[in-house]
Amino acid sequence: MSTSLSPLLAPMLSSAAMRAICDDLAYLQHMLDFEAALARAEAAAGIVPPDSAEAIAKACNAGSFDLAALAEAATRSGNLAIPLVKALTTEEAVTDKEAARYVHWGATSQDVIDTAAMLTLRAGIDALLSDIDRAVAGFARLAQKHRNTAVVARTWLQHALPMPFGLKLAEYAAALHRSRGRLTHLKSHTLALQFGGAAGTLAALGDKGWEVAEKLSEILQLPLPESPWHSHRDRIAEAASVLAIIAGTCGKIARDIQLMMQTDVAEAFEPSGEGRGGSSTMPHKRNPVAAASALAAATMAPNLAATIFAAQVGDHERSAGPWHAEWPTLPSLLLVTSGGLAAIVDVAEGLEVDAARMRANLDATGGLIMAEAVAFALAEKVGKQEAHHLVETASKKAVAKKTGLRAALESDPKITAHLDAKRIAQLLEPMAYQGVSQVLIDRLLTSLKDK
């Protein structure tokens, strides 16, 4: 449903692949795919003459229908399936009146619309999986390359401790990979055929209802659920939750990149290119445009998902209103999630890292970022509380006199009685205080092998 986003803005907020998947014509074709498969399934069950089933299937070509006319008719009928079935029946009657009798036999509008949504989701999941694999591979390569590149770890936007930049990158890869697992679970366990007839009992098909459902599931290659699920929207809600999680992960990565691209930080940058990230008035600007797209997706996705969650509260066997709210919302959520992920693929495959600037930022506080390392080494000699007090005092002295932490430490006999100048110098080296970071990088990268 390409109209879910403005055609002018859609390229900024969605991937080309997802725009094709969510296009109105593609969605209409999914509805017609259901009708064609239904006729063939019912022919296999002996309900519809085989020749009629093939005639119906041949007519199920979205390009033959007037989308604008269907849209206008849907405002009177309450959903798109009703005018579509009417148009399909009318068209079929022109060439084969016998076949026209069997169009949409025993099905209901919700069967068509919900199954089309499942087919759209399946195609959308495949597109997202392709981009996730690219992003994961890109960040994994960068993680290996920068596993020994020291960078400031920041908490509350303040310098905290040093860490390997490779660890940050491996965490990006692993977070995206976890959502890969969520998508594959959706595809294999959550997506399902919806086929229940007027009220979910398949009464119009008598004792052949389940036989038709099994064949329909086989033709469309959609899992067959235990029963029709039209009145319980947890499947759609689960898909929405996964999409929102992906958008959120992309937003977190984008926020980090955006902050690292700040002029005053300048540690890592999106890939550059002609006309990319510029300003309409300031020639020097290099704006984080991919990060902006991902952050836009992360801002929009939770609210779209919330609409899907709210739509779970329907009335009895067919909801009047909440179900309708899903129709534009789900493709919009697919679109913005794809846009956020496409932006992160761009970053993962072209991130520019300034290791020298990272080191300069580590040194910007004159060694204060290593205060914890010194305190714990001193604590082995004098106890944690006393060590904390001594290093805190030295840190305040270093700030007040602008001498750097090393000079402040070496001027305190209570400290040098236990730590000599050589040991202090060792403790002030950032990559000497990384804990089990290298083990964590290996564990995160190994987790990427899980499918």
Rounded-to-integer distance, Cα 234 and Cα 225, Å? 13
Q: Is 318 a catalytic residue?
A: yes
Contacting residues for 162 by C-beta, under 8 A, at least 6 apart: 150, 151, 152, 153, 362, 369, 370, 430, 431, 433, 434
DSSP 332-365: HHHHHHHHHHHHHHHHHHH-EE-HHHHHHHHTTT
Q: Is 4 a catalytic residue?
A: no
150-155 and 158-164: which strand pairing? antiparallel
Amino acid at position 373, single letter: A
Amino acid at position 439, single letter: V
The CB density around residue 74, as the number of other CB atoms within 10 Å, is 16
3-class secondary structure, 293: helix
Rounded-to-integer distance, Cα 5 and Cα 328, Å? 10
Phi-psi region at 23: left, alpha or beta (left = phi > 0; alpha = psi -120 to 50): beta
Of the residues 318, 357, 411, 423, only one is catalytic, namely: 318
Of the residues 6, 64, 272, 279, only one is catalytic, namely: 279
CA angle at 123 for the pair 118 and 128, rounded to the nearest 5°: 120
- Residues identified as active-site: 279, 318
